[in-house]
Amino acid sequence: MAALPIIAAIGGAVVPAAIYASLNSGGTGSSGWGIPMATDIAFALGCLALLGSRVPAALKIFLTAVAIVDDLIAVIVIAIFYTAELNLGALLVGIGLLLLLVAANRLGIRTLLVYLVVGVGVWLAFLASGIHATLAGVAVALTIPARFRIDGAAFRARAHALVEGFSVTTDATALMLTDEQQQQTVLELEDLCEHVQAPLQKLEHRLHGWITWCIMPIFALANAGVVVSLSTLHGPAIPIVLGVLFGLVLGKPIGLVGASWLAVRSGWVELPEGVTWGHMLGAGMLAGIGFTMSMFLATLGLPTPEAQTAAKLAILLASLLAGGGGMLILRRMPQPRSDNKKSQ
């Protein structure tokens, strides 16, 4: 299951980039080949959410995994191909701090403050090195512990014992604040809750609201900056527009479905349970929603404001076409059978 989204994401990144590069070879927009590689996770999953129960749960998991791998590929492309100049000293400092975080992980240090403080240092070092700092965020995230100290069964048994032992004092008027036994039980239960959660999971939960309501809107607005004017779509801008449109709307589904088909046909992987090739085609279309990351790549990869504006207009149009096409395909697919229907 894990191999299929990786293979699909690679196919869904390579084919759009190849289509764009073939249409812009030697032109003004030749350096923007990375633009149609990215998938916007939020919008793609939002489209799936609108379809509700008409989409198999396994397809939602698959597309989420594809979008994550897709964005990781985009970050690596930014770091390697869109770095103007390299400060080797700052890069070595950043790598050294990363190794320090890896060592902290291996030593079992689970305090998030350690990873936050050192992570800021990694980000600053990468920024000073010339490598785009987005790579620092991904690298630091990979070092944060994702392991639990106790499993679900042990947590349930120990928590049950603690709750059972949480009895009122013999003095019915006494407050819990003055009952040492109850206070000790509460503290042990808090420690138990800490041990059943991975630090990475806790951090994700704490950041979810900030990312949803603050960071993502700011990121989207900061990288949009599109002046809607058809006057920009002429001459050198035409290959850029066509490269983005064909890359996202055609290249994404062709690359994603094609790579998946080859992998399944060769026997390396299997389709997720309940997912058909029609579902895969719909998911491939939804993966063509580029938006935020594609906008970001357009800003980094294209040399002039005119070229960037043309690319961003194409990204908006392609995202609308890909999103609408993907939802239309998936809406026409048969409703997944419930467990009750299967048992009958």
Query: What is the pTM (predicted TM-score) of this model?
Result: 0.73
Mean pLDDT for 6-31 is 94
* Cβ neighbours of residue 263 closer than 8 Å, sequence gap 6 or more: 3, 4, 7, 8, 269
Q: pLDDT band at 194, cuts 50/70/90? A: confident
Mean pLDDT for 306-333 is 91
Q: Of 137-151, 210-224, 290-304, which gets the smallest average pLDDT?
A: 210-224
Pair of tokens at residue 123 = 């980000």
DSSP class of residue 25? T
Q: pLDDT band at 159, cuts 50/70/90? A: confident
DSSP class of residue 197? S
Q: pLDDT band at 223, cuts 50/70/90? A: low
Mean pLDDT for 176-181 is 65
Whole-number pLDDT of residue 340: 41
Whole-number pLDDT of residue 344: 40
Q: Of 59-68, 80-89, 293-302, which gets the smallest average pLDDT?
A: 80-89
Give whole-number Cα distances, 247 to 92, 116, 237, 309, in Å: 36, 37, 15, 17
> What does the alpha-carbon distance between residue 247 and residue 243 come to, in Å, rounded to a whole number?
6
Whole-number pLDDT of residue 343: 40
pLDDT tens figures, 229-280? 555 666 788 999 999 999 999 999 999 999 999 999 999 999 988 899 999 9
Computed over every residue of the chain, the mean pLDDT equals 84
Give whole-number Cα distances, 325 to 117, 250, 301, 332, 340, in Å: 44, 11, 27, 11, 31
Q: pLDDT band at 292, cuts 50/70/90? A: confident
- Residues 319/241, Cβ–Cβ less than 8 Å: no
* pLDDT at 218 exceeding the cut of 80: no
* pLDDT at 296 exceeding the cut of 70: yes
Specify the CATH number of the domain 3-82+226-343.
Answer: 1.20.1530.10
Listed in order, strand segments (DSSP E) in 267-332 are: none
> What does the alpha-carbon distance between residue 168 and residue 107 come to, in Å, rounded to a whole number?
40
Q: pLDDT band at 169, cuts 50/70/90? A: very low
* Domain ranges across the chain: 3-82+226-343, 152-195
- Residues 290/38, Cβ–Cβ less than 8 Å: yes
Burial of 144 (0-12, 13-18, 19+ CB in 10 A): buried
Whole-number pLDDT of residue 339: 44
